[in-house]
Structure 1
């Protein structure tokens, strides 16, 4: 089976390849094609993968190309993990937003809108090429903002594009662990949009164990989300929010922390990964060792500003293990081998959430089999969550409309309607500021 990875020079690719190396089942991936626009990054990542595979018999063969059409032809699965504008673009997203006193995080608020506006046209072009060159392939979308990009691609690929994220998986795993349950045996009642969802129940052997957690302040405050949001707030919600909701519930504190930080997250990663690619390219470098060291630093500093604001301390060691690759491999196995499973995924709503239309991409538990991912019926969200979900989905729709029409006015509307952008004038300045730093937004007129 052939797997194509778009954004194949990206830092996280070795996580995916490491998961593939552990798969010895029938019908496994035997060929991996890396595609990237940057040949130097491709070479560096290929070196890491070669060292990963050194002691593994029959490891998937890896090839690399900068030709997109060549990479797509004959693919059975396509992982889309691109970053339009690179980490410099992410750092600019943060800088422009923070100068206006609003959040610049890459998937939430102004930064997420800017990232979406320059990513959607590229993702749509990829989707059209896939439909033409590999119509039977399944696209698994890693590219952020994951829900928005998946919805853009679904307009051309239908249900053959599925978005994934490791945040819900990690959240469910932490809740199960603190309750003494096996995450593999637990049913996680999770619903929302990508980076905007809530765990409302965790069932083990038919019994919902979440009320027990919410009633125990000591237990509730013992894991990442309890430390991040605070016990009182979680008890008030009666649910455990995705960590990214910290940007909504504690927005002023988050913006202030990012403004005061020595470097934004994007600037930190830009500098860190530049060092990584330089080191790996040096003669005699142990590429895998360099990658492991860099990854540990990257994960340990994840959402550090938010944790500092909340007084949450360092991340637990158990939370430093990634997760994208595990979700992706489980999804691919379920489709390729009809190994039926349940995963939290980004898929078209159909009739799952009555407040959204059928084509809106949401993030919910799905039953997965050879025919793809099928969203499970869920109970309605409470009013406060419904309001956020509907508001953010409306913003995503304006982003898609702006990307399709090239309308600057529609782009302004997208920014202005977001709950974390508090002024139409700020929205106008954001559009101008982003157009100045991103050549990829020149299409907005």
Structure 2
């Protein structure tokens, strides 16, 4: 077992970076990372320097023998890496604004991971990540790639289909659920078990045990459920949740409460701008904090970002692979027959036993009948969108949108697709060959 681990963080200038640095510090005894390389692109250099210097102050305060390097040279950074994490945003927040606003013009939910906006994010992201994978195959072929770049499930599936890299997709939603339950029952997360079934940003919790005692039925009467900073807060329909027999992810509100969320998005844009603009204000505030030379820890304000706890999920996965702990984590992995109504190579989000050979997906005890159709429909859209992302085929892209449950007209889909592709032209060379 190596004692001098090297981790490369691609998108190192992200506002999330202090969280992953904190994770490495807190887990150093069981995950002895000695070298961290933060990588970014020239447009991200200023943020890389700001957040990188904060990371160095955090390490210095810890007194641990960890070195931090900042670089724009990805290939040099990857040489000899044991783990690579990706937290990138191709097109930056300006592209997220397009993802959130253009669909609204056509009467469709505008969101960066769900629906047409999520597809455009996948189109921008998948080719770049596959290029990174080619570098990993050449320069550190034994490294594990932990991806929490959204849309994480689609990106993970693309990597598993189109590269030989050992990759896992991560999301903060499962950890958020455990934190919610831990607070609700005043019980440590280690004494809680949840079974997750579905896809990334499309999962249901079908079992909840607190200290071995089944609590799902009790929780189904809790109409608030767990939620996130970036999803509007609407109460679930109590009768619907009770008869569903599972706790839906907060992202499922886009599918189950489409009309209400669409109206909320339109009102929100008038009042406070898009979610991307809100995030931009939060990030500006965070980077002002990061510049403070007296700051030597992750600021509390970081938890206001919708993706808080992603880094906790990443460090947990790395630590478990390194130590062969065989604990259970909720990850995005290849289906391998776990959900028998999906292709074996589909990426799904389920509980896995994490070993030093990677995660092993566990059988699921229950898939609600009412959930199967939606899972299948969204997976059909995802697989078509992945194919379009790697080929630049507009026809397949149109088929992907036509199969998405939130898109109500092929003619609307075609007009919207043309506008979104043109807006993203600089980031989509495959579509404009």
TM-score, shorter chain, exceeding 0.5: yes
Residue by residue, what CA displacement relative to the aligned partner does 1:78-103 show, whole Å, maximum 9, x if unpaired?
A: 00111111111101111111111111
Q: Is 233-242 or 414-423 further displaced after alignment?
A: 233-242
Counterpart check, 1:34 vs 2:38: yes
8 Å CA contact 1:280, 1:286 repeated in 2: no
Task: Give yes or no for the alignment of 1:347 onto 2:347.
Answer: no
Query: Residue 54 of structure 1 aligns to a residue in which SS?
Result: helix
* 1:244-283 → structure 2 map (5 Å cutoff): 244-261=251-268, 262-274=272-284, 276-277=286-287, 280=290
2:253 paired with 1:241: no
Determine if contact 1:179/1:213 at 8 Å carries over to the other structure: no
Match of 2:302 in 1: 295
- Deviation for aligned residue 1:206: 4.6
Compared with structure 1, are the counterparts of its residues 279 and 330 closer, same or farther at alpha carbon in structure 2 (3 Å cutoff)? closer
**Structure 1 residue 117 and structure 2 residue 127: aligned?**
no
**In the alignment, which residue of structure 2 is the partner of 1:147?**
153
Distance in 1, matches of 2:302 and 2:74, equals 27
* Deviation readout 1:229-276 (Å, 9 max, x if unpaired): 243332132111111111111111111111111311012223442454
8 Å CA contact retained: 2:246, 2:368 = no
Deviation of 1:129 (Å) = 1.4
Which residue pairs with 2:384 in the alignment?
398
Residue 87 (str. 1) matches residue 93 (str. 2): yes
- Contact 1:190 1:199 survives alignment (8 Å): yes
Following superposition of structure 1 onto structure 2, how do residues 354-393 of structure 1 map, counting pairs within 5 Å?
354-393=340-379
- Verify the 8 A CA contact 1:353 1:380 in the aligned structure 2: no
CA distance in 2, matches of 1:335, 1:280: 31
State the alpha-carbon separation in 2 of the partners of residues 111 and 33 from structure 1: 31
CA distance in 1, matches of 2:165, 2:193: 24
SS of 1:379 mapped into structure 2? coil
Q: Could you say what secondary structure the match of 1:224 adopts?
A: coil
Cα distance in 2 between the residues matched to 1:27 and 1:178: 30
Identify the residue that residue 134 of structure 1 maps to in structure 2: 140
Alpha-carbon distance between aligned partners in 2 of 1:286 and 1:233, rounded to the nearest angstrom? 51
1:21-60 alignment, distance < 5 Å:
21-37=25-41, 38-60=44-66
Residue of 418, 424, 428 corresponding to 1:441: 428
Q: Which runs of 5+ in 1 are unaligned?
A: 303-320
CA contact (8 A) 2:54 2:295 kept: yes
Deviation of 1:178 after TM superposition, in Å, equals 2.7
Q: Are the aligned partners of 1:2 and 1:75 in contact in 2 as well (CA < 8 Å)?
A: yes
Gap change, CA 1:255 and 1:26, over 3 Å in 2: closer
* Stretch of structure 1 that moved more, 152-161 or 6-15: 152-161
Match of 1:425 among 408, 411, 414: 411
- 2-structure distance, mates of 1:416, 1:286: 52
In 2, Cα distance between equivalents of 1:158 and 1:33: 23
Q: What TM-score do you get using the length of structure 1 for normalisation?
A: 0.88
Report the aligned-residue RMSD: 2.2
Deviates further, 176-185 or 351-360: 176-185
1:159–1:357 CA distance, 2 compared to 1 (3 A) = farther
- Say whether the 8 Å CA contact 2:40–2:48 is kept in structure 1: yes
Whole-angstrom CA distance in 1 between matches of 2:325 and 2:69: 28
| 1:177, distance to aligned residue in structure 2 (A) | 4.1
After superposition, give the CA deviation of every residue in 1:140-162 in whole Å (9 maximum; x if it has no partner).
Answer: 01110000001111124457100
1:15 to 19, 22, 43: 19
Report the alpha carbon displacement of residue 174 of structure 1 after superposing the two structures with TM: 2.0
Cα distance change on mapping 1:2 and 1:258 into 2, 3 Å: same
